[in-house]
Structure 1
């Protein structure tokens, strides 16, 4: 029966306009009418197939696309960019994560399409690139409405580019982000970009040699032109107090500020920035910062902070107490390889940092900390937990009557000592888990993953990498034989141990296998 025979088409259009990406994908399979209507409201596309011909068909089919994600794409990058450039869509967001860099000619071709002039967000993560200052000029001239630009180069492509829909979090990833590394981009090129893109809202720069003697146009005397900047990240470069003072005096709209492996600055320059802006996101990663400096930072007005990252810095119990009491709005905390100085109660509930009950996302690298269960009990809003190098076999006890069901939805475990019993406890206490990542967890076996899949009916995303005890073939055959994949939408195994037939079988069940 045709959809129009049940309800008028405009009624269906009104309904479909409220569906998200997954909802549109689901209803498009029902009938031809639903497929046609869903095409109208499909605004985002993730390109997986390496063939450009397939993309050409998709571009002709989905005329209302605003967002194209090329991160999973492994084909010829320049060919696919040229195909997008020749299309009739009005693109606003373009995400790329690829082995090869973009050619300037491809960027010019993309910018020559008048409908691409409205591009607002351009994220390009590359392994190999030869970007020059002139390429930034091309970008500035081709995309006049650009608000966010992120050009990063990696020694290797991060796994989460392939595993997740997004690998551009609010803080640099833990894969050693190196922005504009070893290429021809200079401080002058960045300064030109700042002067010619006044509507630029977010900028990440790094590995730039700061040498004002080479040019009179510098970041320091250009930063004030970028009045719309709300997010600024410096990575792996010398950042002087003079530059920080220039940022402080620039009267930007800054709400996010990150210093990632930067040197030459002191707490004096950092305090100038904090005094002039009410930041909501602050990242300090391996700077020349002592515990007393962190305390000075937290003594400023940091009441608006919602996200903070402290890595490879020295902190004390008083520092953590200040973090808890001075930052009541915190919803995300990231700590990695911090030096805890002095005596700190490891009972979790008395650990001063975790008296903040508003925290929703927590990322920790603490090898022997045993208070995770108490934290989950105290901070009932935590939805996302990331643990790295956590050596305990269990995070929570399955038979602990004092701990109610945990509201965790996203759990990431990397290089941990957790075993199958630990996973079984998670399956019992975390019934609403949506995403599970286990990377390099040596004591996890196929049986442990089976318990998770079998007992958690809300699980949609399963990412496995480097877990030698998990036999991918056995796990996939068990899922198909028992039907235990009703809720799963994406399984990432990090190795090509599955067959084309298995990929088709999972695809027909609505699950992407990679």
Structure 2
């Protein structure tokens, strides 16, 4: 039979590779990397399926050119961890023909005005810009963003440390809202100048706005929120300011919420009457966050959930009546009967809940994919993610039972569960697809007895445990696919154990050696140059972080040392 009969066009291979990569929850392109080694043709196809790039070192223009040529379909660029001259880098990037739609410049001292101007003159396809956690923001920065990127659909300027001007930003916010006519999502959290008038202007002018996050702005009132929401009927999600006095909510405010699908009331003082009013309006809620809310009881949340048949995501962290009353599990069993479409729930810090709640959720919520029950009497987190951290009474038989219930776990967090020991081996045999394992502070666990491989494990946290060099040797031989290894405050690890890991884990990207006082500081040099995949090393005590030439050399190797 002719080999041509088995030929598949590139489009078919792309569909196959995309199907495989869809299961890569951590987005490390693990499968694509393996496929790229099969042939030059597969390498070319997988390169075309890479759409995002994070730059953490100082690249030359020649290097950038080769990289952008290799990945011709890049649409997302993350520079939030880049430590060089951002203006210069943006200027270099602007000289290439790219169709970027997303740019992340977070965690900078200031917004790189000159670089953004050069960037915007050559790249006009940007629809998403993130500049969160900036050290300072000037009022002229809003004008700059509006002028440079008028086609933005998403803008995140959240949580700046300070503002450089005494201006109230009125003209700038109005200009921004008028210019960004396609804006659908905005985050202005901690922009302390925001008030009722500016919120109204923003909502009135941004006619396509669907999601707004404006937290920690104490000048905004409930009355202002109600007026702004009524002005923008397209709005589907709005995270209410925690400074708003929700107990003063009026019918006018309730009416304004009629189209919302997502409601975040974190740390607010709400009442049963308020929750009942929302229930009676029949809001099409798919997401509800009541984390750390006060003032309401079981009757109020029961009324709301019984009317919210479409709810998919529910956050009840620090719920008072699930901590203090004797019917806590009974309450959750009853509430779960209304949550048939639930995908995720967070019940962490509801300290009286037990396995009865866990079993009720598993039985009544067939779509449930993520459950958080940290700091409870038992603890659990769902079909793919299981968080059992800080459950001090947890035993091996408990985690083995959970593993049997949820064999497809991808994340297992047992940090600070002191009584877990050899049962971890049986759990890992059952849950062979675990990619993220957190055993920090678990002194009872000793991985030296591991006699089977976990090639798919990517993240392993052994911080503050009794792990030693021999254990690291066994672990690295059985977990060769590790990407991130955390060994903070592991006082029995030496340079020998670290070298075992570097030698055996050929895809290793990050190692944390903070507080490892028996690891010789000179191991960092050999790690960087012997394992090219490394992107970050948190150094052991004694490493000289003041040597700028050495740090620059490491960055050129693609590894950030801190």
Unaligned runs of 5+ in 1: 1-11, 155-177
Equivalent residue number for residue 77 of structure 1: 111
Looking at structure 2, the residues matched to 500 and 470 of structure 1 have their Cα atoms a distance apart, in angstroms, of 25
Looking at structure 1, the residues matched to 230 and 492 of structure 2 have their Cα atoms a distance apart, in angstroms, of 54
Query: Is 1:283–2:315 an aligned residue pair?
Result: yes
Query: Is 1:474–2:512 an aligned residue pair?
Result: no
Looking at structure 2, the residues matched to 378 and 241 of structure 1 have their Cα atoms a distance apart, in angstroms, of 44
Give, in angstroms, the shift of residue 312 of structure 1: 1.0
More strand as a share of residues:
1
Which among 489, 493, 501 is matched to residue 535 of structure 2? Answer: 489
Give, in angstroms, the shift of residue 289 of structure 1: 3.4
Equivalent residue number for residue 167 of structure 1: none
Query: Is 1:111–2:146 an aligned residue pair?
Result: yes
Contact 1:133-1:184 at 8 Å conserved across structures:
no
**CA pair 70-22 structure 1, distance change in 2 beyond 3 A:** closer
| DSSP 3-state at the match of 2:429 | helix
**CA pair 327-254 structure 1, distance change in 2 beyond 3 A:** same
Give, in angstroms, the shift of residue 411 of structure 1: 3.2
Query: Is 1:377–2:411 an aligned residue pair?
Result: no
| DSSP 3-state at the match of 1:90 | coil
Equivalent residue number for residue 33 of structure 2: none
Equivalent pairs, count: 467
Equivalent residue number for residue 412 of structure 2: 362
Q: Deviations over 1:373-400 (max 9, x none)?
A: 4433333333223455x34153x53324
Q: Deviations over 1:13-47 (max 9, x none)?
A: 9875333445999xx99989856645863322233
Question: What does 1:321-470 align with in structure 2 at a 5 Å threshold?
Answer: 321-340=359-378, 346-352=396-402, 355-370=405-420, 371-387=423-439, 390-392=441-443, 394=445, 397-401=447-451, 404-405=453-454, 407-412=456-461, 416-420=464-468, 423-439=472-488, 446-463=495-512, 466-469=514-517
**CA pair 447-191 structure 1, distance change in 2 beyond 3 A:** farther
Looking at structure 2, the residues matched to 296 and 348 of structure 1 have their Cα atoms a distance apart, in angstroms, of 20
Looking at structure 2, the residues matched to 316 and 36 of structure 1 have their Cα atoms a distance apart, in angstroms, of 52
Q: Which has the larger radius of gyration?
A: 2
* Alignment root-mean-square deviation, CA: 4.5
Give, in angstroms, the shift of residue 50 of structure 1: 4.1
Looking at structure 2, the residues matched to 211 and 232 of structure 1 have their Cα atoms a distance apart, in angstroms, of 13
| DSSP 3-state at the match of 1:411 | strand
Looking at structure 1, the residues matched to 488 and 237 of structure 2 have their Cα atoms a distance apart, in angstroms, of 31
Question: What does 1:74-473 align with in structure 2 at a 5 Å threshold?
Answer: 74-77=108-111, 79=113, 83=117, 87=121, 88-113=123-148, 115-122=149-156, 124-128=158-162, 141=178, 143-152=180-189, 180-181=215-216, 183-192=218-227, 194-200=229-235, 202-210=237-245, 218=253, 220-226=254-260, 229=261, 231-248=262-279, 254-275=285-306, 276-290=308-322, 291-292=328-329, 295-296=332-333, 299-313=336-350, 314-340=352-378, 346-352=396-402, 355-370=405-420, 371-387=423-439, 390-392=441-443, 394=445, 397-401=447-451, 404-405=453-454, 407-412=456-461, 416-420=464-468, 423-439=472-488, 446-463=495-512, 466-469=514-517, 473=521
Q: Deviations over 1:331-378 (max 9, x none)?
A: 444333223499875424554586222332234554324054443333
Unaligned runs of 5+ in 2: 1-42, 192-212, 323-327, 379-390
| DSSP 3-state at the match of 2:150 | helix
Equivalent residue number for residue 201 of structure 2: none
Looking at structure 2, the residues matched to 358 and 94 of structure 1 have their Cα atoms a distance apart, in angstroms, of 36
TM-score in terms of structure 2 length: 0.68
TM-score in terms of structure 1 length: 0.73
